[in-house]
Amino acid sequence: GAGVSQSPSNKVTEKGKDVELRCDPISGHTALYWYRQSLGQGLEFLIYFQGNSAPDKSGLPSDRFSAERTGGSVSTLTIQRTQQEDSAVYLCASSSDSGGTDTQYFGPGTRLTVL
Amino acid sequence: SQQGEEDPQALSIQEGENATMNCSYKTSINNLQWYRQNSGRGLVHLILIRSNEREKHSGRLRVTLDTSKKSSSLLITASRAADTASYFCATATTSGTYKYIFGTGTRLKVLA
């Protein structure tokens, strides 16, 4: 595809429900990143994938958060038992280089609202 | 705490004026990147400067990097209303992990 895509663009859920957020990176990009951005704040790193493995999960805020990547392409971020403080925009980015030397290309984000 | 912190947090200027934003960071970096974000959604990459570079230009953008002071600046010349956005710096550290640390951003408003 032409760029990074994310779905859904908006998600409203009730507290306690599970949600899945999807990211389709640019074809051929080996590195994939998930970030969270609360209203008016900077980006908070969540997790990084190199291929299908996640060498750095240090940013996941709790064990309710998990992510996987299959086939070196699509990634899913799952939040279990959502809480109101999980409300944020979740951004995905991909890059062709995993060594921290290349540009990240961002998707439009998923706005999650937990009621 | 945030690796990168932008200064000022908010900036309002008239169209045609120059806008300067600063970014400070704490640890050694591989490179530093500036991004623009419109309407709180996806970020657009503006420019990347490597740790061995001191200045870089791209159109109306000029970025400087001072590794001794652990700081960078982004200058937008002859600003336009369309430049209104939030601007973030992101650092790729040399600590062995490949994550980028984003600053808190500068909200720029260009008045027509």
**pLDDT tens-digit profile of B11-34?**
999 999 999 999 999 888 888 999
Q: Is B77 exposed, middle or buried (0-12, 13-18, 19+ CB in 10 A)?
A: middle
Cα distance between residue B73 and residue A20, in whole Å: 38
Cα distance between residue B25 and residue B10, in whole Å: 18
Tell me: the pLDDT tens digits for B26-78? 888 888 999 999 876 679 999 999 999 999 999 999 999 999 999 999 999 99
B94 CA: distance to closest CA in chain A (Å) = 9
With 60 as the cut, is the pLDDT of residue A99 above it?
Answer: no
Tell me: the pLDDT tens digits for A19-32? 999 999 999 898 89
Residues on chain A touching B48 (C-beta within 8 angstroms):
103
Choice between A41 and B59, residue whose per-residue pLDDT is larger = B59
Mean pLDDT, residues A63-76? 93
Tokens linked to A112: 């999650």
Inter-chain touch B42–A91, beta carbons under 8 Å: yes
